[in-house]
A and B are shown apart, each in its own frame.
Chain A
Amino acid sequence: MNVLTPPPALKPQDFASDQEVRWCPGCGDYAILKGVQKALAEIGARTEETVFISGIGCSSRFPYYMSTYGFHTIHGRAPAVATGLKLANPALDVWVVTGDGDGLSIGGNHMLHVLRRNVDLQILLFNNEIYGLTKGQSSPTSRVGTRSPSTPTGSVERPVSPPLFALGAGARFVARTVDTQMKPLVAVMKRAQAHCGTSFVEIFQNCIVYNDAVFEDFTAKDVAADNQIVVSHGEPLLFGRDRQKGLRLRPGRLDLEVVTAGVDGVGPDDVLRHDETSPTLAWMLAAMTPPEMPMALGVLYCDPAPSFAPAVVADSTAIPTSPPTPEALNALLRRGHTWTIAD
């Protein structure tokens, strides 16, 4: 009997290219690179079927460091290039790597439309709240007051929230994770890859050079437990050092509030359970910011819907496996009114 031997499983390091990684030492990108490589190995991905597409910026160097196929495109346009690639070959596993400037400023329009089309690919948005590659200007996610070479007296623009943008655009998978948290990062990557449709993942990424420690308010060791909540579908929304804090609907108002077990008669049943199929809950979770509320991490929203490429391709009666025959083309050209001029 002829048994197909499965190709040998790849290890994380098999997803690394031979190129020297050139991010600044200590940049959060390193950890994300490792995490993605680990996730791919755990998924059982194949390098030849995996494509990383990026725009411009520090994060967008990512494809060069992967042993998969990769296309480092132009500023902000990776989602559009990736959409075309998926139309040409829907079988490929496509990852878009972008940043807050690339994905939400110059490429904001493409981000909107790739999400609403629900193209089956993963978008990893490395959010460092700054322009790194162009040397430190404020970005669309920079907080009010951010001092930068372009905002010497502090930025006055209000930042955009990546997950709220994604939800507003109709994303069906929205997750959030942190560069240095390897385990949850790998788990989120795997969920994102498994999701059919566009998976939007915001990764808090520390730019050690231009915006160091900007996420310390919820990632620093001493505050992390109290200022972040890792959500998990079906589980109670608990956090805090001893998981004694929880989220519940504020009585009389569509809003979340933090409660502490045993205080004010709050019992375990008063705490909300995470329902990742609820867009309203996803919205409320994504909108929480420390210090008043914990930063929500994990899969905030996942509710699959029909994806774009299969729909479009089906619309077009599928990309045929072989080009149309001369007979079919002759028939096409002769469609409609024709007449013959005799000799």
Chain B
Amino acid sequence: MSSTSTASTLAAPAALAGHRQALESAVVRFAGDSGDGIQVTGGRFAEATALSGNDLATFPDFPAEIRAPAGTTYGVSAFQINFGARRILTSGDSPDTLVAFNPAALKVELADVKPGGLVILDTGSFNERSLRKAGYAADPLTDGTLDAYRTLRLDISQLTLDAVKPFGLSQKDALRCKNMWALGLVYWLYDRDRRPTVAWLERKFAGRTDLAQANIAALNAGHAFGETAELPGDLPAYVVDRAPIAPGLYRAITGGEALAYGLVVGASLAGLPMVFGSYPITPASPLLHTLATLGQFGVVTLQAEDEIAAVCAAIGASYGGAIGVTSSSGPGIALKTEAIGLAIAAELPLVVVNTQRAGPSTGMPTKTEQSDLYQAVFGRNADSPLVVLAARSPADCFDTAIEAMRIATRYMTPVMVLSDGYIANAAQPWRIPDIAALKPFPVHFRTEAEGFQPYHRDPETLARNWAVPGTPGLEHRIGGLEKDYDTGHISYDPANHQRMTEVRRDKVAGVARDIPPQRPESGNDHGPLAIVAWGSTYGPIARAVAVLRAEGLDVAHIHLRHLWPLPADLGDLLSGYDRILVPEMNTGQLLTLLRSAYLLPAEGLNKVSGQPFKVHEIEAAVRARLAAQRSSSPEGIER
């Protein structure tokens, strides 16, 4: 059954298109042991897909354990990609195709697969021992488990061994090529070009020609298998057309990378070096890892002894005239809280990134949630306002980070940026911006000694002057104690404390005047129903609203980047809708803000399972509300 082909025998995709079923979009998930090269496989598929002109979004799902035992359900690593001929906003609700490299992967992932979806199995990995490890009491291949799905049961292990035989690899090395065999088959299934993957393999195994050739042979064999083998008649091959994507230069980017680049670019637009203090924590560490490689771009990274030192070093750096940035996830942010209060009192710029994760305390570190909004807005002792922004997608992290830098330096205030575990790890194609086209916001340090007082404020922004140690004539002392409004000296004067508290509040509130007007992402600025949301729910909501609006349903989608202060015109905008629905991956935190700010009867749609919303969940919630509204409205009764 083995068959090999070489790169020169690649079939032109168009030649096959006639026999293929056209899809608007598709979701594929690869799953197997960490050692099966799942992430590499997914990454290659994503690259080939991007090059074929589809829009796409990907999400890796790593096991929480670093080296989980092979074959166990908790050791399953997965990679999902949603791609299409239209705009793709999420990594997909449920897979159309699952490639399961072992029983554990099947056990973990099968429930997610669409009914009638395709399950590709490596039967070579199914034996009594592996089934037991995966927790199967009976053989899922025969006990009806797979009845609701179309299956392709292939001994991929053996097919791979056959394909790579000419290269004389050890059994272990040979079997490691099976991900490429499966990838070749899936390439055939979805009509992807193998050439970028061939080129990648040649680069990756530059020093090991045998490995490169074996992997390429496996890839081609998998592809040829699809072309030549007699596959079941109900198994069509597909084609997914190019998506209408804006022309330009693209790259794939994760939220973690986009945040890192946004911070670097933002610091340069402010004209400042950056000091990044951080302490390892899941899922925030990728930001530290990316920034640690960017020293030549004016970034100094400090892996601090703890979360508190990380934020304190950032504050010390801002005091010294750099822009201090710190990053963590919820539990770490909690530890930084007192120091953030210091930055608020000392009125120093600071960017705090919170890559949110699920649950109180340690919770579920690798699972996503957006439940730190209360913490961000309210979570400090005393009246301690700061600015809170949220990124909606991996690419949006770039723009949000720049906005954080702008506000922090212009207003001399800490700014908290909320991302989450989903955004940080998910990847999407990103049209690379031209930095020269971005508007700089250079910082002007105070140098004029005449009339200097450390807490004198800009009348418009209420930001105090930024006078940096080393500047002659501006020597002054600051700290966490309350300061006199005029001189900045320690003051316990009651009226002064009232005034200082109010000016700190007004300064942050004033940021609302300095942000773009809030418009709906889609839909009208009035109507029966608006969805108001923030953060990574953007993808599923935008997709659901697109579907619903295409059906003629009148629903609007408003997505907030600025969460504190809320946009100045948001109250007016929201007053134009009969109902407000607030989907959140928490128990109703934005909901509380909106209700308290505008006294609105807004309603929550809350999911706290550690999983992102699915598009159909949002759709269903909207349909239910619009239907209820119709039946309860006077017109509805008449009809």
B66 contacts A by Cβ under 8 Å: no
Query: How far is B438's CA from A235's CA once the two chains are assembled, in angstroms?
Result: 65
CB within 8 A of B322: which of A74, A80, A88?
A88
- Can you list 24 contacts pairing A with B, beta carbon distance less than 8 Å? A48-B474, A49-B469, A49-B470, A64-B477, A69-B475, A72-B481, A77-B339, A79-B309, A80-B310, A80-B316, A88-B273, A89-B321, A110-B308, A113-B305, A316-B299, A316-B300, A318-B295, A319-B322, A326-B268, A327-B436, A333-B261, A338-B251, A339-B250, A340-B248
Chain A residues with CB below 8 A from B118, complex form: none
Contact between chains at B248 and A112 (CB < 8 Å)? no
Check: B137 CB closer than 8 A to any chain A CB: no
* B273 contacts A319, C-beta separation under 8 Å: yes
In the assembled complex, A182 has its CB within 8 A of some CB on chain B: no
**If A319-B273, A320-B273, A341-B246 touch, does A48 touch B301 (CB 8 Å cutoff)?**
no
Q: Are A342 and B247 in contact (CB under 8 A)?
A: yes
A293 at the interface (CB under 8 A from B): no
Q: Is the Cβ of A88 less than 8 Å from the Cβ of B321?
A: yes
Residue pair B479, A19 in contact (C-beta under 8 Å): no
Residues of B within 8 A of A332 (CB): 261, 264, 294, 297
Q: Does A181 contact B (CB under 8 A)?
A: no
Convert B464-481 into 0s and 1s, putting 1 for each residue whose CB lies closer than 8 angstroms to a CB of A: 000011111111111111
14 additional contacts, CB 8 Å, given A48-B469, A328-B297? Answer: A53-B316, A72-B481, A73-B312, A74-B480, A80-B316, A84-B320, A87-B320, A88-B300, A316-B301, A323-B271, A332-B261, A334-B251, A340-B249, A343-B247
Residues of A within 8 A of B272 (CB): 323
Distance in Å: Cβ of A303 to nearest Cβ of chain B? 23
B-to-A contact residues, CB < 8 Å: 47, 50-51, 53, 245-252, 261, 264-265, 267-268, 271-273, 275, 277, 294-302, 304-306, 308-310, 312-322, 324, 338-339, 341-342, 346, 432-436, 438, 468-481, 489-490
A85 at the interface (CB under 8 A from B): yes
Q: A306-343 toward B: CB 8 Å interface, digit per residue (1/0)?
A: 00000011011111100110111110111011111111
Task: Check A246 for interface membership: any CB of B closer than 8 A.
Answer: no
A312 touches B300 (CB 8 A): yes
B296 & A48 in contact (Cβ 8 Å cutoff): no
Q: How far is the CA of A48 from the CA of B447 in the complex (A)?
A: 12
Q: Which residues of chain B come closer than 8 Å to A80, judged between CB atoms?
A: 304-305, 308-310, 312-313, 316
Chain B residue with Cβ nearest A78: B312
Residue A324 contacts which of B50, B297, B316, B338 (CB distance < 8 angstroms)?
A: B297
Residues of A within 8 A of B297 (CB): 324, 328-329, 332
Residue A225 CB within 8 A of the other chain: no
C-alpha spacing A86/B298, complex, angstroms: 15
**B contact face: mostly helix, strand, loop, or mixed:** mixed
Quick one: which of A8-56 are within 8 Å of B by CB?
Answer: 17, 19, 46-49, 51, 53
Say how far B135's CB is from chain A's closest CB, in angstroms.
39
Q: Give CA–CA (A319, B481) in the complex, Å.
A: 32
Q: Is there an interface contact between B313 and A341, defined as CB atoms closer than 8 Å? A: no
- Is the CB of A228 closer than 8 A to any CB of chain B? no
Q: Are B251 and A84 in contact (CB under 8 A)?
A: no
In the bound complex, CA of A326 to CA of B308 (Å): 33
Q: How far is the CA of A69 from the CA of B476 in the complex (A)?
A: 5
**Cβ contacts under 8 Å, B310 to chain A:** 80
**Shortest Cβ gap from B340 to chain A (Å):** 10
| Cβ distance A324 to chain B, nearest Cβ, rounded Å | 5
With contact pairs A48-B474, A337-B251, A341-B53 given, residues A109 and B490 touching in the complex (Cβ less than 8 Å): no
For the complex formed, measure the closest distance between the CB of A31 and the CB atoms of chain B, giving whole angstroms. 21
Are B273 and A339 interface neighbours, CB within 8 A? no
Q: Are A88 and B317 in contact (CB under 8 A)?
A: yes
List chain B residues, Cβ under 8 A from A74: 312, 338-339, 341-342, 480
Complex alpha-carbon distance, A74 and B309, angstroms: 11
User: Which B residues touch A193, using CB under 8 A?
Assistant: none
Residues in chain A near residue B320, CB distance under 8 A: 84-89, 92
- Looking at the assembled complex, report how far the CB atom of A189 sits from the nearest CB atom of chain B, in whole angstroms: 19
The minimal Cβ–Cβ distance linking A52 to chain B, given in whole angstroms, is: 8
- B317 and A87 contacting across the interface, CB-CB below 8 Å: yes
- Could you say which residues of chain B place their CB within 8 Å of the CB of A110? 305, 308-309, 312
Interface string of A99-117 (1 = CB under 8 A from B): 0000000000110110000
Q: Is A82 an interface residue (CB 8 A)?
A: yes
Distance (whole angstroms) from the CB of A187 to the closest CB of chain B? 26
- Is the CB of A91 closer than 8 A to any CB of chain B? yes
Look across to chain A and name the residue whose beta carbon is closest to the beta carbon of B308: A77
For B50, the closest partner residue in chain A by CB is: A339
A86 to B346, CA, bound (A): 18
Taking A72-B478, A110-B305 as contacts, is the C-beta distance between A64 and B247 under 8 angstroms?
no
Residue numbers in B under 8 Å from A329 (CB-CB): 264-265, 268, 297, 435
Shortest distance in angstroms between B411's beta carbon and chain A's nearest beta carbon? 20
The reply to whether B477 and A17 form a contact with Cβ atoms under 8 Å apart is: yes
| CB atoms of A341 and B268 under 8 A apart | no
A60 to B309, CA, bound (A): 18
What's the least CB distance linking B92 to chain A, in Å? 21
Give chain A residues whose Cβ lies under 8 Å from the Cβ of B324: 84, 88
Chain A CB count within 10 A is highest, among B47, B246, B249, for B249
What is the CA–CA distance of A88 and B314 in the complex, to the nearest angstrom? 9
Tell me the minimal C-beta distance from B129 to chain A in angstroms.
39
Q: In the complex, which of the residues A68, A80, A110, A340 has the most CB atoms of chain B within 10 Å of its own CB atom?
A: A80
Q: Which residues of A contact B301 (CB under 8 A)?
A: 316
Question: Which residues of B have CB within 8 Å of A91?
Answer: 470
Q: Does A70 contact B (CB under 8 A)?
A: yes
Cβ of A63 within 8 Å of any chain B Cβ, yes or no, is: yes
Could you tell me if B469 and A85 are in contact, using CB atoms closer than 8 angstroms?
yes
Tell whether A230 is near chain B: CB-to-CB under 8 Å: no
Asked whether A141 is an interface residue with its Cβ less than 8 Å from the other chain, the reply is: no
Q: How far is the CA of A73 from the CA of B47 in the complex (A)?
A: 49
Q: How far is the CB of A133 from chain B (nearest CB, A)?
A: 12
Does any Cβ of B come within 8 Å of A81's Cβ? yes
Shortest beta-carbon distance from A334 to chain B in Å: 6
- Tell me, in angstroms, the Cα distance from A274 to B458 when the chains sit together: 58
Complex CA distance for A158 and B261, rounded to whole angstroms: 50
A342 to B468 alpha-carbon distance, docked (Å): 48
- With A48-B473, A83-B302, A324-B298 already in contact, the answer to whether A72 and B51 are too (CB < 8 A) is no
Residues of the B chain whose Cβ atoms lie less than 8 Å from the Cβ of A165: none
- Complex-state Cα separation, A341 to B318, whole angstroms: 41
Given contacts A81-B312, A84-B324, A319-B273, contact A338 B435 (CB under 8 A): no
| Interface: A71 (CB within 8 A) | yes
Q: Which residues of A contact B342 (CB under 8 A)?
A: 73-74
> Do residues B271 and A72 form an inter-chain contact, with CB atoms below 8 A?
no
The one of B312, B433, B489 in contact with A84, judged by C-beta atoms closer than 8 angstroms, is B312
**In the A-B complex, the 4 residue pairs with the closest CB atoms:** A84-B316, A316-B295, A72-B479, A88-B320
Q: Which residues in A have their C-beta under 8 angstroms from that of B314?
A: 84
> B419 CB to closest chain A CB, in angstroms?
19
Q: Please indicate which of the listed interface residues B50, B472, B475, B477 has the most CB atoms of chain A within 10 Å of its own CB.
A: B477
Which residues of B are found within 8 Å of A339, using beta-carbon distances?
50-51, 249-251
In the complex formed, the residue of A with least CB distance to B252 is A337
Is the beta-carbon distance between A64 and B275 smaller than 8 angstroms?
no
Find the residue from B275, B320, B490 having the highest chain A CB count within 10 A: B320
Query: In the docked arrangement, what's the CA distance between A336 and B438, Å?
Result: 22
Q: Which of A72, A91, A326, A341 has the most CB of B within 10 A?
A: A341
Give CA–CA (A328, B268) in the complex, Å.
Answer: 11
Q: In chain B, what residue has the closest Cβ to A18? A: B489
Residue A177 lies at the interface, judged by CB distance under 8 Å to chain B? no
A73 touches B480 (CB 8 A): yes
Contact between chains at B313 and A320 (CB < 8 Å): no
Query: What B residues does A317 contact at CB under 8 A?
Result: 295-296
Cβ of A67 within 8 Å of any chain B Cβ, yes or no, is yes
Docked Cα-Cα span, A99 to B271, in Å, equals 37
* Chain A residues, CB < 8 A from B318: 84, 88
Given contacts A72-B479, A340-B248, A341-B247, contact A320 B296 (CB under 8 A): yes
Q: Does A330 contact B436, Cβ atoms closer than 8 Å?
A: yes
